[in-house]
């Protein structure tokens, strides 16, 4: 991580990281000022420069700390799931749930949003720092999950499982960043479903991902569906 002095466990540096993690999750990096961070951390403004160098360097340190922590938790969880697998292989719902938990689990609201912000920022505007974090932590994690998928669905093609992992990530990230105040889902469903119901949201997400990962006869893209029909097709 981008510390200029000492280490991330220095009390002041740790308070800055904790404060920035909370504020970046709730307001985003751009909308959060250094002064807000130092006020929350109860340190002076110069401390950010002393320990991290700049707000961008601090953001990199925050994202790396969160991604590293969650990656370690997920890998440990996957190891337990694979060790407990029965004769028919590991439980795919447990595998997917271990991926979703850091985003959608109870008490993980801020963490989930922060990770989603990182993934979205990397996809929309990749930088050297986001590429480094993805390469160091998230790429090995992806390979571990695809290997777990293969254990649960051994008949699936390896290439398909990588696609399905990417689609699971995308669905999880977008679910985590839904505007819960506007709750478009509730509007669309006339109140029959709501993104504010986190239990229902993660159940729907896991069910969707498991079905997609297991699908052995997937549908294929149909070209021309937006072209007007001819008179014989009307």
d(CA 122, CA 220): 29
pLDDT, tens digit, 9 for 90 and up, residues 14-36: 999 999 999 999 999 999 999 99
Q: What pLDDT band is residue 8 in, cutting at 50, 70 and 90?
A: low
What average pLDDT does range 75-91 have in this prediction? 95
Contact in structure between 78 and 148 (CB atoms under 8 Å): yes
Q: What pLDDT band is residue 135 in, cutting at 50, 70 and 90?
A: very high
**CATH code linked to domain 66-214:** 1.10.357.10
d(CA 6, CA 15): 14
Contact in structure between 175 and 203 (CB atoms under 8 Å): no
pLDDT of residue 218: 84
pLDDT of residue 232: 59
- Domain 1-53, CATH class in plain words: mainly alpha
pLDDT of residue 166: 98
Strand partners, 86: 89
Contact in structure between 78 and 88 (CB atoms under 8 Å): no
Where are the chain's structural domains? 1-53, 66-214
Report percent pLDDT > 90 for the chain. 89
pLDDT of residue 233: 55
Q: What pLDDT band is residue 216 in, cutting at 50, 70 and 90?
A: confident
């Amino acid at each position: 991580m981008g510390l200029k002095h000492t280490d991330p466990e220095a009390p002041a540096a740790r308070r800055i990281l904790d404060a920035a993690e909370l504020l970046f999750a709730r307001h985003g990096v751009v909308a959060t000022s250094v002064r807000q961070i130092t006020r929350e951390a109860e340190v002076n403004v110069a401390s950010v420069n002393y320990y991290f160098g700049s707000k961008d360097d601090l953001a990199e340190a925050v994202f790396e700390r969160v991604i590293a922590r969650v990656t370690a938790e997920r890998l440990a969880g996957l190891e337990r799931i694979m060790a407990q697998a029965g004769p028919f292989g590991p439980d795919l719902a447990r595998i997917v749930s271990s991926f979703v938990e850091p985003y959608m689990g109870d008490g993980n609201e801020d963490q989930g949003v922060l990770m989603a912000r990182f993934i979205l920022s990397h996809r929309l505007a990749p930088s050297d720092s986001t590429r480094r974090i993805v390469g160091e932590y998230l790429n090995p994690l992806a390979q571990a999950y695809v290997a777990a998928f293969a254990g649960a669905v051994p008949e699936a093609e390896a290439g398909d499982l990588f696609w399905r992992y990417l689609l699971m990530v995308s669905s999880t990230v977008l679910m985590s960043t839904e505007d819960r105040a506007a709750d478009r889902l509730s509007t669309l469903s006339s109140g029959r479903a709501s993104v504010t119901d986190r239990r229902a949201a993660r159940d729907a997400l896991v069910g969707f991902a498991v079905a997609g990962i297991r699908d052995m006869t997937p549908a294929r893209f149909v070209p021309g569906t937006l072209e007007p029909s001819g008179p014989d097709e009307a």
